[in-house]
Chains A and B, each alone.
Chain A
Amino acid sequence: MLNTILPILLFAALALAVLGALRRFRMWRRGRPAQVDWLGGLLKMPRRYLVDLHHVVERDKYMSRTHVATAGGFVLAALLAILVHGFGLRSQLLGYALLAATALMLTGAIFVLKRRLNPPSRLSKGPWMRLPKSLLMFSGSFFVATLPVAGILPEGFGGWLLAVLLAVGVAWGVSELFFGMTWGGPMKHAFAGALHLAWHRRPERFGGGRSTGLKALDLSDPSAPLGVEKPSDFTWNQLLGFDACVQCGKCEAMCPAFAAGQPLNPKKLIQDMVIGLAGGNDAKFAGSPYPGKPLGEHSGGPHLPIVSLDGKALVDAETLWSCTTCRACVEECPMMIEHVDAIVDMRRHLTLEKGATPNKGAEVLENLIATDNPGGFAPGGRLNWAADLNLPLMSEKKQADVLFWVGDGAFDMRNQRTLRAFVKILRAARVDFAVLGLEERDSGDVARRLGDEATFQSLARRNIATLSRYRFKRIVSCDPHSFHVLKNEYGALGGHYEVLHHTTFIDELVRQGALRLGRSKADSVTYHDPCYLGRYNGEYQAPRNVLKALGIEVREMQRSGFRSRCCGGGGGAPITDIPGKQRIPDMRMADIKETGAALVAVGCPQCTAMLEGVVAPRPEIKDIAELVAEVLIEGAEAPASQPAARREAAEVH
């Protein structure tokens, strides 16, 4: 009896799966067109899955092994089951292979079940609680049904009772694992995820690459939408990416805004986009809601606005403005979903079309337009911090080895101390450098992250025009935000430069022996990784090397390196200032205090400002440039160039 039922079940489920896949594919294609490498992407997909994605999953060893067993077992078992039970190739060898595959899957499924016994809050419940049972059903039923094929049990063992039980088990299993995959069940992540890897919007991320710069809007085409108003305004492969979400909540666990009780949960946001893609409301969402926003009140559809400024739609505007663009969610996401791109896309619509940048946003953007700096300071005062330093100007020198990009910190009295310290270092190392002085403008970072692509492009194009008049080998900046934008986002507008963060540059000077350094008196020091230096640009080591050269032993925070927690200062978050239950910098200061350090070394004016805004008593905050300048031994000839110390590759957690 089973021999007739099983093929029917298998092929019916497969047929339904194909139908579902076509339906889902048409849903994604409601999005705007995107350039993808159709065939090449598909061919590269297995490698992206087995290598790049596995690297991310491997951070959680338990889940990685469980997933290898379950998914690997399932793929094998499914293929073999189609051969053995679908086409009736009842060879003993295939039978044993299928037994091994289902046993592997069964083992994995048991660990999935174990994880689900007392699941952490970041995991979604609902249908996801059913999944381990479905996995057990699938693997268990096929295991038992295959025993006769392998000759372990006699044909017809167990009579019709077992046959009915197995038929039910297989029906349950293939419903979840075959057509549930394309009709929106938990297994959708495997189907959409595989295609998402194939047609990812940032293919440069695979194979060890990095792609973090925001994509430019085409402002020359007046008919192109300015950002994303409706789900169908996303590119189709973005929609596909949202659908790949496995609701593991790793993003939620890392999101600083969520932890601060601001109304953002990256996982929920992606699920809301899935709701937008398919139509419906969020009542059935089985994970943590946005803090302070009950489920069931928001709904949307592919052609309905995502944000309504006077009522409720799919997502509230303050959810989008809570993001600090720290990229912790993207870094953690095992499905390599691009949360920040989506958020900025939606912000672009709010700013460029609706003029609805909250709180101080409008004022800052207006200042950037009128004065090229966010504070609205007179542009003529940009070099006042260096009035006594007699800095070499590019407009006079025309060329230099290093162009020192000062950034808008020039207007901030705290950051001026850092800038002056860095100038001291440059002079001590006899670096041939120059500044743009009054010709420099804001890099456009804040404007772009507040969604004002027009102001960003205007600033960027004028900066690029200025830079093109001078000859220099490299740009060095004390501001990771300017550094990132100059390095990764000016390229699309025609500005290609070699850009270094000042800590990278100091590290290089130290290794060349161009600096004579004493030992720092600071004894207990921790280091806070800026998001735009670390996660955005992968520079975790140079700042630590510099601190080591000063004789400082860094007491690492639990969340450091690629898991560093944001200071709360990125993405214009201090400007839009969405209220939460606590402040992000306070949480970061708690991380710092946990190490017992009396001083925290930083490398970013934003981080400095945010952390210094935490009330005392708290550890002191100093930029690495300040720490270096303090112990600089000046005057004497620089010692003869020593062989460069080997740069150790250190693991950063």
Chain B
Amino acid sequence: MTDLNIVALVSIGAHPASGRARRAEQDARAVELGLRLAGKRLRVLHAGNPREEALRSYLGMGLDELAVLEQPAGADALPALADYLADAGAQLVLTGSQAETGEGSGMLPFLLAERLGWPLVVGLAEVEKVEDGSAQVLQALPRGQRRRLRVRLPFVASVDSAAPGARQSAFGPARRGRIEAHEVAVVEDQLLAASTLQPARPRPKRLKVIKAKTGAERMKAATAKAAGGTGQVLKDVSPQAGAEAIFKLLLDEGVLR
């Protein structure tokens, strides 16, 4: 355990089968990681309704209290969170990758890190050690790979399903834990107010045609990357040349017009 000053950001989740409010899966993993690092000193922060019962299931993981920046639905959580965190002396802010309710854009960690001017590590799997004002962490990459990073404090990190699974939430601590509501200036989310929401459609998956004859080939096919085949690796090029190559690719793919 480190004496790091850690804040985990949590949201209200929704069970995929029933839609019932619950602790969000990834956010609970962020709390789990925080508890493993800081134990009871972990601070947990939510922006929204402090009377939401589902918040108690975070407390049930063994927290004494949970701070809530009180906001009505539809308010922008970002300014409130950023203001709070800037003053809170946090050295590590843990979040999930994407909320299960609301916009669920997955943008919050990025916007937050930008606003705070801190680095962001996505897919944090483990914090190995903290020394001299920087942390050595493992970042999860696809197919079980890990990348070791050294990040200076303070930083924001988002966790996904590569982080350790959340511990059970127990009724006793959930009932005892305190939810402390803080009053904050409510900023309306202009973008959300102006746009209409519609249910997301799952992105179609590229079909993998498996021509394998043997078990070994099938295994290889199952574990291989879905190959695009057109990628290229740019090495030892100037930033200018790199940026131009990326810009050209985006134009070719029709992302930029």
Please report A residues at the B interface, Cβ cutoff 8 Å. 222, 226, 351-357, 361-362, 365-366, 369-372, 376-379, 452-455
A377 touches B17 (CB 8 A): yes
Contacts of A455 in B (CB 8 A): 171
Question: Do A226 and B171 form a contact, CB below 8 Å, given A355-B60, A369-B22?
Answer: yes
Residues A352 and B171 in contact in the complex (CB < 8 Å), given A369-B22, A370-B22: yes
Top 6 A-B pairs ranked by shortest CB distance?
A355-B170, A355-B168, A362-B168, A370-B15, A378-B17, A353-B172
Query: Which residue of chain B lies nearest to A350 when distances are taken between CB atoms in the complex?
Result: B170
A226 pairs with B18, CB closer than 8 A: no
Q: Please tell me if the beta carbons of B170 and A370 are within 8 angstroms of each other in the complex.
A: no
Identify whether the interface residues of B are mostly helix, strand, loop, or mixed.
loop
Instruction: Establish whether residues A226 and B15, one from each chain, have CB atoms under 8 Å apart when the complex forms.
Output: no
Q: Which of A351, A371, A376 contacts B170 (CB 8 A)?
A: A351
Q: Which residues of A contact B62 (CB under 8 A)?
A: 355
- Do B168 and A356 touch (CB < 8 A)? yes
Tell me the smallest distance from the CB of A267 to a CB of chain B, in Å.
30
User: Which of B15, B169, B173, B175 has the most chain A CB within a 10 Å cutoff?
Assistant: B15
Inter-subunit contact A371/B171 (CB<8 Å): no
Q: CB distance A357 to B18 under 8 Å?
A: no
Known: A355-B61, A355-B62. A378 touches B170 (CB 8 A): no
Interface pairs (22), CB distance under 8 Å: A222-B175, A226-B172, A353-B173, A355-B167, A355-B169, A355-B173, A356-B168, A356-B170, A362-B167, A362-B168, A365-B168, A366-B168, A369-B22, A370-B17, A370-B18, A370-B22, A371-B20, A372-B18, A376-B15, A379-B18, A452-B171, A453-B171
The answer for the CA separation of A379 and B15 in the assembled complex, in Å, is 11
**Min C-beta distance of B213 to chain A, whole Å:** 31
Shortest Cβ gap from B57 to chain A (Å): 8
- The interface bits of chain B over 171-194 (1 if a CB of A lies within 8 angstroms of the residue's CB, else 0) are 111011000000000000000000
Residues from chain B with a CB closer than 8 A to the CB of A453 are: 171
Q: Which among A222, A354, A369, A370 has the greatest number of chain B C-beta atoms within 10 A?
A: A370
B62 — nearest CB in chain A belongs to which residue? Answer: A355
- What is the CA–CA distance of A416 and B61 in the complex, to the nearest angstrom? 37
Q: In the complex, what residues of A have CB within 8 A of residue B176's CB?
A: 222
Contacts of B60 in A (CB 8 A): 355
B175 touches A357 (CB 8 A): no
Contacts of B175 in A (CB 8 A): 222
Q: Return B64 CB to nearest CB of chain A, in Å.
A: 14
- A442-B15 Cα distance, complex, nearest whole Å: 17
CA separation between A354 and B22, bound complex, in Å? 19
Q: Among the listed A361, A362, A365, A379, which residue makes an inter-chain contact with B17, where contact means beta carbons less than 8 Å apart?
A: A379
Chain B positions 54-91 with a Cβ under 8 Å from a chain A Cβ: 60-62
Considering the complex, give the chain B residue whose CB is closest to the CB of A376. Answer: B17
Query: How long is the Cα–Cα vector from A376 to B17 in the complex, in angstroms?
Result: 7
Whole-angstrom CA separation of A370 from B176 in the bound complex: 21
Whether the pair B170, A353 counts as a contact (CB closer than 8 A) is yes
Residues of A within 8 A of B17 (CB): 370-371, 376-379
Q: How far is the CB of B208 from chain A (nearest CB, A)?
A: 28
Given contacts A356-B168, A370-B20, A377-B17, 9 further A-B contacts (CB under 8 A): A222-B176, A351-B171, A355-B62, A355-B170, A356-B170, A362-B168, A369-B22, A378-B18, A454-B171
